[in-house]
Amino acid sequence: MSYCRKIPDDRLKGTKVLVVNDDHGANRFILKQLTAMGFRNIYHAANGATGLDLIRAKAPDIIVLDWDMGLDGQRFMQTVRTAGKCEKPDVSIIMLIGLASRGRIANVAQFSNTKFLMKPLSLRSLEECLAAVIEVANEPRRAVLSG
Protein backbone atom coordinates (compact mmCIF):
# COMPACT_ATOMS: atom_id res chain seq x y z
CA MET A 1 0.00 0.00 0.00
CA SER A 2 1.21 3.47 -0.74
CA TYR A 3 0.26 6.28 1.57
CA CYS A 4 0.15 9.93 0.63
CA ARG A 5 1.32 10.89 4.11
CA LYS A 6 3.59 8.60 6.05
CA ILE A 7 2.50 7.96 9.59
CA PRO A 8 5.53 7.08 11.73
CA ASP A 9 5.52 3.45 12.91
CA ASP A 10 5.76 4.43 16.58
CA ARG A 11 2.61 6.57 16.20
CA LEU A 12 0.76 3.70 14.51
CA LYS A 13 1.68 1.24 17.23
CA GLY A 14 0.95 3.64 20.10
CA THR A 15 -2.25 5.30 18.86
CA LYS A 16 -5.51 3.93 20.27
CA VAL A 17 -8.40 4.03 17.79
CA LEU A 18 -12.04 3.47 18.69
CA VAL A 19 -14.51 2.72 15.87
CA VAL A 20 -18.17 3.41 16.79
CA ASN A 21 -20.38 2.16 14.00
CA ASP A 22 -23.48 -0.05 13.77
CA ASP A 23 -22.84 -1.12 10.15
CA HIS A 24 -21.15 -4.54 10.17
CA GLY A 25 -19.80 -4.28 6.60
CA ALA A 26 -18.35 -0.80 7.15
CA ASN A 27 -16.76 -1.98 10.39
CA ARG A 28 -15.03 -4.88 8.68
CA PHE A 29 -13.62 -2.50 6.05
CA ILE A 30 -12.45 0.09 8.60
CA LEU A 31 -10.96 -2.43 11.04
CA LYS A 32 -9.17 -4.27 8.20
CA GLN A 33 -7.68 -1.03 6.88
CA LEU A 34 -6.59 0.18 10.32
CA THR A 35 -4.83 -3.14 10.91
CA ALA A 36 -3.21 -3.07 7.45
CA MET A 37 -1.96 0.47 8.09
CA GLY A 38 -0.20 -0.73 11.25
CA PHE A 39 -2.49 0.39 14.08
CA ARG A 40 -2.32 -2.11 16.94
CA ASN A 41 -4.72 -0.70 19.54
CA ILE A 42 -8.10 -0.84 17.81
CA TYR A 43 -11.41 -1.06 19.65
CA HIS A 44 -14.95 -1.34 18.29
CA ALA A 45 -18.41 -0.45 19.56
CA ALA A 46 -21.67 -1.14 17.70
CA ASN A 47 -23.51 1.67 19.51
CA GLY A 48 -22.92 4.90 21.41
CA ALA A 49 -23.43 3.47 24.90
CA THR A 50 -20.74 0.83 24.37
CA GLY A 51 -18.53 3.48 22.77
CA LEU A 52 -18.75 5.69 25.86
CA ASP A 53 -17.85 2.71 28.06
CA LEU A 54 -14.79 2.04 25.86
CA ILE A 55 -13.73 5.69 26.05
CA ARG A 56 -13.67 5.41 29.83
CA ALA A 57 -11.88 2.04 29.78
CA LYS A 58 -9.38 2.56 26.92
CA ALA A 59 -8.93 6.37 26.56
CA PRO A 60 -8.64 6.35 22.74
CA ASP A 61 -6.61 8.96 20.87
CA ILE A 62 -8.89 8.89 17.81
CA ILE A 63 -12.55 7.99 17.40
CA VAL A 64 -14.02 7.01 14.04
CA LEU A 65 -17.75 7.65 14.49
CA ASP A 66 -20.71 6.93 12.24
CA TRP A 67 -23.04 9.93 12.37
CA ASP A 68 -25.84 7.91 10.76
CA MET A 69 -26.57 5.57 13.70
CA GLY A 70 -29.95 7.25 14.18
CA LEU A 71 -29.62 9.91 16.83
CA ASP A 72 -27.01 7.78 18.57
CA GLY A 73 -24.08 9.21 16.58
CA GLN A 74 -25.08 12.80 17.26
CA ARG A 75 -25.76 12.16 20.96
CA PHE A 76 -22.48 10.30 21.28
CA MET A 77 -20.52 13.21 19.83
CA GLN A 78 -22.31 15.78 21.98
CA THR A 79 -21.65 13.70 25.10
CA VAL A 80 -17.96 13.31 24.26
CA ARG A 81 -17.56 17.05 23.58
CA THR A 82 -19.40 18.20 26.72
CA ALA A 83 -16.94 19.14 29.48
CA GLY A 84 -17.41 17.02 32.57
CA LYS A 85 -19.20 14.18 30.78
CA CYS A 86 -16.10 12.66 29.20
CA GLU A 87 -12.53 12.50 30.46
CA LYS A 88 -11.11 13.49 27.04
CA PRO A 89 -13.57 16.00 25.50
CA ASP A 90 -10.86 17.12 23.06
CA VAL A 91 -10.24 13.63 21.61
CA SER A 92 -9.91 13.66 17.82
CA ILE A 93 -13.07 12.45 16.07
CA ILE A 94 -13.41 11.41 12.46
CA MET A 95 -17.12 11.62 11.67
CA LEU A 96 -18.49 9.40 8.90
CA ILE A 97 -21.39 11.13 7.14
CA GLY A 98 -23.66 9.55 4.56
CA LEU A 99 -25.81 12.52 3.65
CA ALA A 100 -23.89 15.63 2.67
CA SER A 101 -26.45 18.13 3.89
CA ARG A 102 -25.12 21.48 5.02
CA GLY A 103 -26.91 21.17 8.35
CA ARG A 104 -25.17 17.93 9.20
CA ILE A 105 -21.77 19.27 8.16
CA ALA A 106 -22.41 22.44 10.16
CA ASN A 107 -23.24 20.31 13.21
CA VAL A 108 -19.91 18.51 12.88
CA ALA A 109 -17.93 21.65 12.09
CA GLN A 110 -18.97 23.38 15.32
CA PHE A 111 -16.76 21.04 17.35
CA SER A 112 -12.97 21.33 17.50
CA ASN A 113 -10.74 18.34 16.73
CA THR A 114 -13.36 16.95 14.36
CA LYS A 115 -12.98 15.94 10.72
CA PHE A 116 -15.59 14.43 8.51
CA LEU A 117 -15.49 11.81 5.78
CA MET A 118 -18.24 11.21 3.27
CA LYS A 119 -19.48 7.65 2.82
CA PRO A 120 -18.82 5.45 1.03
CA LEU A 121 -15.26 5.49 2.36
CA SER A 122 -12.22 4.89 0.26
CA LEU A 123 -8.95 3.54 1.59
CA ARG A 124 -7.19 6.71 0.47
CA SER A 125 -9.64 9.07 2.20
CA LEU A 126 -9.43 7.10 5.45
CA GLU A 127 -5.62 7.06 5.34
CA GLU A 128 -5.40 10.78 4.58
CA CYS A 129 -7.80 11.69 7.35
CA LEU A 130 -6.02 9.54 9.94
CA ALA A 131 -2.64 10.98 8.90
CA ALA A 132 -4.01 14.52 9.25
CA VAL A 133 -5.41 13.80 12.70
CA ILE A 134 -2.11 12.30 13.87
CA GLU A 135 -0.22 15.26 12.38
CA VAL A 136 -2.43 17.64 14.37
CA ALA A 137 -1.80 15.65 17.53
CA ASN A 138 1.95 15.90 16.94
CA GLU A 139 1.99 19.60 16.06
CA PRO A 140 -1.28 21.19 17.25
CA ARG A 141 -0.09 24.77 16.72
CA ARG A 142 0.86 24.19 13.09
CA ALA A 143 -2.07 22.15 11.82
CA VAL A 144 -5.75 22.95 11.83
CA LEU A 145 -8.37 20.34 11.06
CA SER A 146 -10.55 21.15 8.10
CA GLY A 147 -13.22 19.23 6.23
Q: What is the CATH number of the domain that holds 30?
A: 3.40.50.2300
pLDDT of residue 122: 87
Q: Is residue 2 part of a domain?
A: no
Q: What is the pLDDT of residues 134-147, one digit of tens each?
A: 876 655 434 344 44
Q: Is residue 145 part of a domain?
A: no
Domain count, the chain: 1
pLDDT of residue 108: 62
Q: Spell out the residues 6+ positions from residue 66 whose beta carbon is closer than 8 angstroms to its own.
A: 20, 21, 22, 23, 26, 73, 96
Q: Residue 117: pLDDT above 70? A: yes
**% pLDDT > 70, the chain:** 78
Q: What is the pLDDT of residues 4-13, one digit of tens each?
A: 556 778 888 8
The pTM of the full predicted model, rounded to 2 decimals, is 0.84
Q: Which domain holds residue 121?
A: 9-138
